[in-house]
Structure 1
């Protein structure tokens, strides 16, 4: 009798069980779109799955707790960890694939560059295609923004065909900036391998169903970015500073626009709200639903309601008004260098929590990009704002002429915050 073989048998059994368990965990969950009830339904594992998602990989545990079910990335960076973390929370991932952008210098007339990109993407797809948290692939981000060469759509279709060959289990889409007849026509002509389109719309979200229908797109779609009124869409001051909505104004438009479009349109299979995190884009507060410290603004309350049908037990402060020198933001405020002016807010808390206010004065950002490209946060000017009460402060206008913004952050002690800012111009 071979006793050594008997001794190794338990180890072989253990290895076999471990390998079997790992294989089970890495079984892909098939996604598909079926036509149903004059619209479309996304099926995941054979069951209807409406995407209640957010863009970004921050605070995934909160996303799950608030009723969300999916996240969206812009590339495959840290892909394994992102997928594993999502799987652990019961979330899915629309995995972005980084694709060359014309405005960043990529040349779609260069066959060698296009071929190298395709090979790089092949490796990324092979690496993650069987992960059970994977929901769909997103080819590039806003490839139609400031572009001229329609060959990009040939490359997109080639990528989509390759993905379908390697991965028959997941949907493939591309993310478009806005809704444009030219791009829809190009995609219908050049990109038959795409399963659906994804659109990214801000102030015009409520009209998306009608806009998409008007282009002749009759397949499914999802909204992979949506949020506040964009900095290019709302009012501007005479010195060209974009006017940002307060967090409370944002909460109202997020709710009304979502209910008018994403929730209502049977051709929409779900969405990813932007941004489940914080970033500097025009201002530090414009697009993120969180502060740099992780505080949640009133929009997060709205998202919990839209996803789960329930409001949170403790809600964010609600901002009624914000004035500087007795004027509202659309009064277009001019201040004199070195002079002192009053600032005041009107704010309430639904839970009567004790409120505290942080004031911050920043120069107007000059590092302005397009398409969400990285921007640098302006440095705060110290010792120019003196708080006199929760709702009042005295502001010393900077000595140097130019454009500035006064920011407020009103916190309730429970990680909730209201935010707002007023742009003003210092001029002699």
Structure 2
């Protein structure tokens, strides 16, 4: 008989435990919304879990972890291979995911009176739930996004309710929610009546998030919620120029607003609020290329990332983003509705500094003004860059000639510290021949 030493037996025992350890690591998390007195708590495997998260796709996970985030939400799970890879990466990074399931919208032409189409959608989503339900990174299901936006057919909530019941049958381990573009009492009553199987709701507010607590009271929502989108003041609720161009806050102002809104409107509700997902941990074109993203297109982190890290951890990052002030164009602010003549010589200025003393690089650019009228984050084209020569004789000041063609434009400035951080501002203006 062949004999083995003690060390060999130990190795055999360790190897025999590997499948068991792997199976345990691959277990789905048991996530519950637990009522405690008049309040609620989200629990993961029995431990409290306050969502400190962001809305994003598959990229940016490492930066989210570094900033103190513990979760993120998505909008689309149709591509199984891509979504599974994203979930695998989240698990490796120690992040949980509120997984978005695409539910058709009335504003895109879907008819919730078409029983066959509703059944087809339900079957499509059933397959997705089966594909992801046992993944250990899964936190909650997000059934649709802002289905109330530009919608009048209350049967959408019947469909959401049936989807919630189906998901509970397939997956007893993860709460189900839907997200709302604002809310009021009639909407909340419709959801309570038609979709009672939902475990909680997702609330999405921007500049009007300061009314969140009042809205909860007046709507009669006493249940749990997560703020599934919030961030800078929205383009639809911002001041405008005389010709209707929305005026965007600069990067430093946005960071200040995020800090205020998180402390006042989100973290303060320890009874019903289960956390939040700031929008957007990444970059996208929505009226401008900079309005909602906490990062620039090249991946540079803005002051809003610093603000969220301090909100989540209590500490600033070791190296912070530059600060910036609004652009002044010919001595005037954006709210002054500045109109220039074709080819007119122009002076633009901002004030900027770096809290760490890093050397700063300033880039100026003019783009045509966006003509998009889409809502709800629907795709937009990035406006065209105008060929413009900028002459800068000092940091934060530029000289250039206005575009030769009449039209609506926007001046952009980006300030980078050479260490992966940036700040920005922009200024809408118009060009026409008969300037008075």
Q: Please classify the TM superposition score into its range, dividing by the shorter chain length.
A: over 0.9
What is the CA–CA distance in structure 2 between the aligned matches of 1:63 and 1:179, rounded to whole Å? 29
Matched, 1:158 2:159: no
What is the CA–CA distance in structure 2 between the aligned matches of 1:139 and 1:16, rounded to whole Å? 40
Cα displacement string for residues 177-231 of structure 1 (whole angstroms, at most 9, x for unaligned residues) = 0122221110011111000010110001122122112111101001000000000
What is the CA–CA distance in structure 1 between the aligned matches of 2:44 and 2:292, rounded to whole Å? 30
Matched, 1:354 2:369: no
What is the CA–CA distance in structure 2 between the aligned matches of 1:397 and 1:216, rounded to whole Å? 53
Query: Shift of residue 321 of structure 1?
Result: 3.7
- 2:285 matched to which residue of 1? 280
C-alpha contact (below 8 Å) 2:365/2:388 kept by paired residues: no
Matched, 1:184 2:188: yes
Cα displacement string for residues 46-104 of structure 1 (whole angstroms, at most 9, x for unaligned residues) = 00000000001321001011100001000113220111000000000000000111111
- 2:9 matched to which residue of 1? none
- 2:404 matched to which residue of 1? 399
C-alpha contact (below 8 Å) 2:34/2:42 kept by paired residues: yes
What is the CA–CA distance in structure 2 between the aligned matches of 1:38 and 1:416, rounded to whole Å? 43
- 1:341 matched to which residue of 2? 346
Query: Shift of residue 137 of structure 1?
Result: 0.0
C-alpha contact (below 8 Å) 1:247/1:297 kept by paired residues: yes
- 2:228 matched to which residue of 1? 224
- 1:122 matched to which residue of 2? 126
Q: TM-score, normalization: structure 2?
A: 0.93
Query: Shift of residue 37 of structure 1?
Result: 5.7
- 1:110 matched to which residue of 2? 114
Segments of 5+ residues of structure 2 without an aligned counterpart are 2-11
- 1:234 matched to which residue of 2? 238
Query: Shift of residue 14 of structure 1?
Result: 11
Matched, 1:301 2:302: no
Any idea what SS the aligned residue of 2:418 has? coil
C-alpha contact (below 8 Å) 2:325/2:425 kept by paired residues: no
- 1:389 matched to which residue of 2? 394
Query: Shift of residue 238 of structure 1?
Result: 0.8
- 1:60 matched to which residue of 2? 61
C-alpha contact (below 8 Å) 1:361/1:384 kept by paired residues: no
Matching residue within 421, 430, 436 for 1:416: 421
Change (3 A) 1:14 1:106: farther
What is the CA–CA distance in structure 2 between the aligned matches of 1:422 and 1:388, rounded to whole Å? 20
- 1:33 matched to which residue of 2? 33
C-alpha contact (below 8 Å) 1:384/1:398 kept by paired residues: no
Segments of 5+ residues of structure 1 without an aligned counterpart are 2-11
Judge which range, 20-29 or 53-62, deviates more. 20-29
- 2:295 matched to which residue of 1? 290
What is the CA–CA distance in structure 2 between the aligned matches of 1:427 and 1:310, rounded to whole Å? 49
Query: Shift of residue 164 of structure 1?
Result: 0.2
Matched, 1:81 2:85: yes
C-alpha contact (below 8 Å) 1:29/1:133 kept by paired residues: yes
Matched, 1:205 2:184: no
Any idea what SS the aligned residue of 2:423 has? strand
- 1:5 matched to which residue of 2? none
Any idea what SS the aligned residue of 2:283 has? coil
What is the CA–CA distance in structure 2 between the aligned matches of 1:103 and 1:60, rounded to whole Å? 32
Query: Shift of residue 21 of structure 1?
Result: 4.2
- 2:258 matched to which residue of 1? 254
What is the CA–CA distance in structure 1 between the aligned matches of 2:96 and 2:245, rounded to whole Å? 38
C-alpha contact (below 8 Å) 2:388/2:400 kept by paired residues: no
Any idea what SS the aligned residue of 1:369 has? coil
What is the CA–CA distance in structure 1 between the aligned matches of 2:24 and 2:373, rounded to whole Å? 47
Equivalenced residues, count: 418
What is the CA–CA distance in structure 1 between the aligned matches of 2:86 and 2:317, rounded to whole Å? 26
- 2:95 matched to which residue of 1? 91
What is the CA–CA distance in structure 2 between the aligned matches of 1:378 and 1:69, rounded to whole Å? 34
Any idea what SS the aligned residue of 2:304 has? helix
> RMSD over aligned Cα, in angstroms?
1.7
Query: Shift of residue 13 of structure 1?
Result: 10
C-alpha contact (below 8 Å) 1:321/1:347 kept by paired residues: no
Judge which range, 188-197 or 18-27, deviates more. 18-27
What is the CA–CA distance in structure 1 between the aligned matches of 2:395 and 2:376, rounded to whole Å? 37
What is the CA–CA distance in structure 2 between the aligned matches of 1:36 and 1:207, rounded to whole Å? 25
What is the CA–CA distance in structure 2 between the aligned matches of 1:388 and 1:285, rounded to whole Å? 26
